[in-house]
Amino acid sequence: MIEIINLCKSFGSVVAVDGLSITIRKGELFGLLGPNGAGKTTAVRNICGLLRADAGSVQIAGKPPTDLSVRKKIGLAPQNLALYMDLSAEENLTFLARLYGLSGSRLRQRTDWCLDFAGLQPRRRDRVKTYSGGMQRRLNLAAALMHDPSILVLDEPTVGVDTQSRTAILESILTLRDRGCTILYTTHYMEEAQRLCDRVGIMDHGKLLALDTVGELIQAHGGKALIVLERGGNEERLTTDDPLDALSQLDWEDRPERLRIEPASLESVFLNLTGRGLRD
Amino acid sequence: MRNIFILALKDIRVANRYKLVAFFHFVFPVLYAILVGYMMSGIVGLGVGMYRGTVSVAVADQDQSEFSAGFLRQLQAAKELKIHQVDFDTAKDMVRRRRCAAHLVLHKGFGSTSWLLTPGGQPRMRLVIDEARIAEGQIVRGMVYMQLMDYVRSHFLRSFTDNPEQNARLRAVFRAYLDVDTQLDSALKQQLIDLLHTWQSVEQTQSTSGGQPPSGPTLATESGRFKDNSILRQIFPITFPQGMIWAMLFSAAFYAISLVEERAEGTLQRLRMAPLTRLQLLLGKGLACMMNCLGTSIALLAVGMLFFGIRSNSYVLLLIGLLSAALSFSGMMMLLASLSKTPAAAEGVSLSALLIMAMLGGAMVPEVVMPPFARTISSYVPIKWAIMAMEGPIRRDFSLGEMAPYCVGLTLLGMACYVVGVFVFRLTED
Ligand SMILES: Nc1ncnc2c1ncn2[C@@H]1O[C@H](COP(=O)(O)OP(=O)(O)OP(=O)(O)O)[C@@H](O)[C@H]1O
Ligand SMILES: [Mg+2]
């Protein structure tokens, strides 16, 4: 569905995307992970045709993303809020919908759906600049859904959103996936990616480091599981490939007060692949 | 086309949310038209002897004679001047503190009148004008000399007309004045010439009949010959078109900035993701700009027509003028916007371009006060064409043919800007 072949993009001397190749299948929820400055947003903007690639190509359903018929199918929620702050939520949404040719009852129906989705029904006539950060973020996402696109590109759509809204948003995204939407999702929240994504790509310095299902990635790069025991106020840490086996070999005469098993997770995959150093 | 309208309506809606927009797009131009109208009526009125304001002058009478006191009374009677009779130091100080535009010192010996009887003699007084207030200073200068001549004449008419010898000397003095002081303005010259004629006739009547001298012609001030309104009726048709241009310029600059702001704030990304071409995007913004230009200038015109007696010989021509001006301003601003990278740059470039054009085009200062080189440049500045396109049907009774060069020039310029603007806009990312 989305075919990215050897995509390269530099800004001056900064190489933001360096030979990225990913194929996202139709109906798939694909997660793109990477530390700050890894090049996710740049990749996303190239995929949407907002930037011209230095090399390589992006094809969506066999056409370049700049093609009008392709653009109609894409819904983009940019990482930076892209809303008219002096208009209300309703005005923002209806304006965008009209550009996509919606009108009449269909327009009203979609507007209501999106306002419900963003939880902004009670504030629909207030100016966006009077909303809280989370409300604006939710509207930013809803605006991408207004024209009911079949391809969704969501660049960190849940930053700064509270737990309740996040849960609701994630559920809605899963519903959209189940309805057949193809979704590209970038995030810094590992548990989100782990819960949502069919497949995950991890990139750093513009390059793709790994790409697979969450399970396979953990298997390959997650490292050992961690068993944490507390005995007499002391913490003992055991790392193991096989937690069950390790537990059975423990000295159960000296019973620990507490025991915790931390299985390898996407987070450990991420840290193992991209290192623990801080990013700019 | 539908998309362009949707885009334009959004922009107008956004524009309407800014309070300051209303000020710059409407209140300022109206104020400009009215205030400059009144100010110009003062300046122009001055030129035709209709100045209605008063200028403050500090006068120090060091002579303290009957003659000087009489002259002061005469000055005080002149309604163009407000006389503050003070001592010399205070007089100087009042000019320094801008309380007065000039100070006048009547030196000792002012009343001796001997200066009058010496050919080329100067009155024993000194008029010092604040360099920063030349225009008012000139009024003072004109008034003081005029009043002085008038006073001297009536004074001498009273006391000297029975002495033919002195009369002859006096006449020689005045003649000398006429020859020497080339700076005397024509009105004053005329006064002096009249004065000489009067003397002549006085002498003639005396030599023939020996009777009472007839009173000389009184100083003819022209004020009151026109009504104030009549001059404003001539001025508002000048300042309202200029106000309309201001309204258009501010509207146009607003949209130049708004386009770049959309780029900076990311909403342009959404627009570019929508099924729109770049041409539609730019035209959408341009259309909003044009509609706003037209809306504000027509609103201003309405104010002018309702309250300030603005009329047009042809509203169709006026509309054509407005349309072509709006097209060219919006085009120029869209071109600027597509060239600017940041909102600050767009703001800076568009506002300075606007101000320079306004200055050269005559929307800021009337053309009369421009130096010759600026006047030459002025005819090549699109704002000048726009002013002509607006003044044409409002106060010049232009025909379609006379309007055509300005309207065609504006239209072509606007379209050229759009073409280049779209080309540049296509090249830019984001
Ligand atoms: N418009 C631009 N001009 C110059 N450099 C840019 C531009 N956009 C991105 N970059 C650079 O490209 C690199 C990748 O940036 P990008 O925004 O794609 O990272 P990211 O993975 O989205 O990071 P984050 O998780 O912080 O959003 C960074 O080094 C950034 O400084
Ligand atoms: Mg990013």
Domain locations in chain B as residue ranges: 2-40+230-428, 48-224
Q: Which mutation among A7, A9, A14 tests ligand 1's pocket best, with the greatest number of atoms within 8 A of CB?
A: A14
User: Which position has the higher pLDDT, B181 or A184?
Assistant: A184
The confidence score (pLDDT) of residue A122 equals 94
Q: What is the mean pLDDT of residues B253-268?
A: 88
- Look at B429 and A50 and tell me if their CB atoms are within 8 Å: yes
Instruction: Point out the least confidently predicted range of A25-39, A209-223, B26-40.
Output: B26-40
Cα–Cα distance measured from residue B337 to residue B284, given in angstroms and rounded to the nearest whole number: 13
Partner B contacted by A129 (CB < 8 A): no
pLDDT digits (tens, 9 = 90+) for B112-134: 766 665 555 667 888 888 877 77
The confidence score (pLDDT) of residue B388 equals 87
Please, which pLDDT band fits residue A31 given cuts at 50, 70 and 90?
very high
Q: What is the mean pLDDT of residues B133-141?
A: 77
How many CB atoms neighbour CB B351 within 10 A?
15
pLDDT digits (tens, 9 = 90+) for B289-310: 999 999 999 999 999 898 888 8
Task: Find out whether the beta carbon of A41 lies less than 6 Å from any atom of ligand 1.
Answer: yes
When CB atoms are compared, the residue of A76, A87, A99 closest to B13 is: A87
Closest to A145 in 3D by CA, of A111, A170, A120: A111
Closest-CA distance, A106 to chain B, in angstroms, reads: 17
- Look at B10 and A86 and tell me if their CB atoms are within 8 Å: no
Q: Which CATH class is domain B48-224?
A: alpha beta
Q: How far is CA B98 from CA B92, B132, B383, in A?
A: 10, 9, 36
Closest-CA distance, B263 to chain A, in angstroms, reads: 10
> Whole-number mean pLDDT of chain A?
90
The answer on pLDDT for B184 being more than 60 is: no
The confidence score (pLDDT) of residue B411 equals 95
Please, which pLDDT band fits residue B49 given cuts at 50, 70 and 90?
very low
Partner A contacted by B272 (CB < 8 A): yes
Q: Which two tokens stand for residue B41?
A: 């009526």
**What is the ipTM for the molecules in this complex?**
0.86
Q: What is the mean pLDDT of residues B56-74?
A: 90
By three-state DSSP, how is residue B224 classified?
Answer: coil
Chains A–B, number of C-beta pairs less than 8 Å apart: 63
The confidence score (pLDDT) of residue B234 equals 73
Please, which pLDDT band fits residue A73 given cuts at 50, 70 and 90?
very high
Partner B contacted by A127 (CB < 8 A): yes
- H-helix or E-strand spanning residue B214: none
DSSP letters, B53-78, are S-EEEEEEESS-SHHHHHHHHHHHH-
The answer on pLDDT for B94 being more than 80 is: yes
Nearest CA in chain A to B18: A86
Please, which pLDDT band fits residue A141 given cuts at 50, 70 and 90?
very high
DSSP letters, B278-321, are HHHHHHHHHHHHHHHHHHHHHHHHHHHHHHS----S-HHHHHHH
The confidence score (pLDDT) of residue B220 equals 35
By three-state DSSP, how is residue A203 classified?
Answer: strand
Q: What is the mean pLDDT of residues A65-92?
A: 93
The confidence score (pLDDT) of residue B278 equals 87
Task: Find out whether the beta carbon of A36 lies less than 6 Å from any atom of ligand 1.
Answer: yes
- Look at B270 and A82 and tell me if their CB atoms are within 8 Å: yes
Q: Which two tokens stand for residue B12?
A: 């107008």
Atom of ligand 1 nearest to the CA of A12: 4
Instruction: Let me know: does A125 contact A90? Beta carbons within 8 Å.
Output: yes
- Look at B266 and A82 and tell me if their CB atoms are within 8 Å: yes
The answer on pLDDT for B215 being more than 50 is: no
User: Which position has the higher pLDDT, B230 or A99?
Assistant: A99
- Does the CA dihedral A155-A159-A161-A167 come out positive or negative? positive
Instruction: Let me know: does B416 contact B331? Beta carbons within 8 Å.
Output: yes
The confidence score (pLDDT) of residue B205 equals 59
The answer on pLDDT for B181 being more than 70 is: no
User: Which position has the higher pLDDT, B276 or B356?
Assistant: B276
Please, which pLDDT band fits residue A160 given cuts at 50, 70 and 90?
confident
The confidence score (pLDDT) of residue B218 equals 37
pTM: 0.73
Please, which pLDDT band fits residue B23 given cuts at 50, 70 and 90?
confident
Instruction: Point out the least confidently predicted range of A24-33, B61-70, B159-168, B376-385.
Output: B159-168
> Whole-number mean pLDDT of chain B?
78
